[in-house]
Amino acid sequence: MRSFLRRVAVPLWVAALGVALLAQTPKPPSPQIQPLPQTPLVARTNTVLPTASLSGRVTTAPSGRPLARARVVLTSDEIFECPPNNPEGRTDNCQRYNRVEITDTDGRYTITKLPKGKTFTVSVSKTGYATRAFGEVPPSTPATLIELKDEEQRTGVDVALAAQHVLTGILLDEDNTPLGGALVEAIASADLDGQRDLIAVSQSVTDERGRYRLFGLAPGEYVIRTTDPAFIHAGDEVGMLTYGTTFAPGTTAPRDSVRITVGTEPSQEVPTFALHIAPPIRPPVRAVAPPAPIVPTPVPTPAGKGKPGPPAAVPVMVPPTASLSGRLTSIVDGRPISRARRGNCRRDHGMSGHRAGRPDG
């Protein structure tokens, strides 16, 4: 019994001694986390920050209720950042950017430290409402350009947002099957730089059922335009090709498109139409100066060992002749898949690629 207690007591005593020694050993100091240096937000091209400001209030139309957390976006040609050592007065290589503020609970916002200029525009957006710019009266009156002077404190830049309208519909392929992954846009006529032009107001990507939903629309007239993404960056062995877009109700000619009037109902269904892949056109190539003629250079020959050799061979460009083909089938039952795109193929089969093709199966 004593022998057993001795064998047990010795290891316990050694373990206790080790714990005591560890307790007396001083712990190394914990590493100090150094804060990152704070870079002051100063303009690179100005030694003095601008002092003008712009403020306003965002409300609902027609009730006038304040809208909180609306996004206010200020754009201007006078807001930019230039690289270091940029020449004084040169802005063509400077990067333009926007100033953004979010309205408070009373719908108010203020944007400070603005430079003087004549090209300021304010646009406001919020989920569930149609995006609108200051001074804009859809669909005909464009946004108002705001001029700011040095140290001016402009107030009263108010914007009232109306409830949004929605357009929904189904897009089909040329074989009348749902087309997923296609880009659908609602485009409207707008006044840009004194000229009427068409701009995309809302965009949507069709789901696996071919359905799309265009939201955030203000009352007005719109044209529905769709594009097959597989053919956006497509080409052949010669170069890039440009494929046309399709307009509702299924035409590739813009003059034959249908204008859809929005404003009577919160949501409207667009009649189902099919995308058509029109024959592509080749974009014009920018003319460049022809290269200098290549003069064959004789092959040098050591002195005293005969005449110079024949001229060096000049490489000749030969168009590529290789090809690639295959067959697309379902991995589930092996059936052939028609109307698949090499660029995005059928969305439910998850294929991807870059050069567009139109296999039949």
pLDDT tens, residue by residue, 92-133: 888 999 999 999 999 999 999 999 998 899 999 999 999 999
* Contact in structure between 111 and 54 (CB atoms under 8 Å): yes
Nearest-CA neighbor of 358 among 269, 273, 280, 295?
A: 280
Give the chain's domain count.
Answer: 2
- 259-280 confidence digits (pLDDT tens): 999 988 999 999 999 999 888 8
Task: Look at residue 32 and tell me if it is in a domain.
Answer: no
Three-state secondary-structure class, residue 7: helix
* 146 and 184, same domain (yes or no): no
- Indicate the residue among 248, 274, 300 that finishes a domain: 274
* 121 and 211, same domain (yes or no): no
How much is the mean pLDDT over the chain? 77
Task: Look at residue 26 and tell me if it is in a domain.
Answer: no
pLDDT band of residue 75 (cuts 50, 70, 90) is: very high
* 200 and 156, same domain (yes or no): no
User: Residue 316 contacts by C-beta under 8 Å, 6 or more apart in sequence?
Assistant: none
> What do you get for the CA distance between the two ends of the chain, in Å?
88
- Indicate the residue among 103, 128, 162 that finishes a domain: 162
Pairing of strands 273-274, 165-172: parallel
Task: Look at residue 349 and tell me if it is in a domain.
Answer: no
Q: Residues 248-272, buried b or exposed e (16+ Cβ, 10 A)?
A: bebebeeeebeebebeeeeebebeb
- Indicate the residue among 239, 274, 309 that finishes a domain: 274
* 115 and 180, same domain (yes or no): no
Task: Look at residue 150 and tell me if it is in a domain.
Answer: yes
pLDDT reported for residue 328: 56
Task: Look at residue 64 and tell me if it is in a domain.
Answer: yes
Pairing of strands 165-172, 267-269: parallel
- Can you give the pTM of this predicted structure? 0.61
* 119 and 213, same domain (yes or no): no
Domain range spanning residue 223?
165-274
Task: Look at residue 38 and tell me if it is in a domain.
Answer: no
d(CA 64, CA 196): 31
> Is the pLDDT at 345 greater than 50, yes or no?
no
**CATH code, domain carrying 265:** 2.60.40.1120
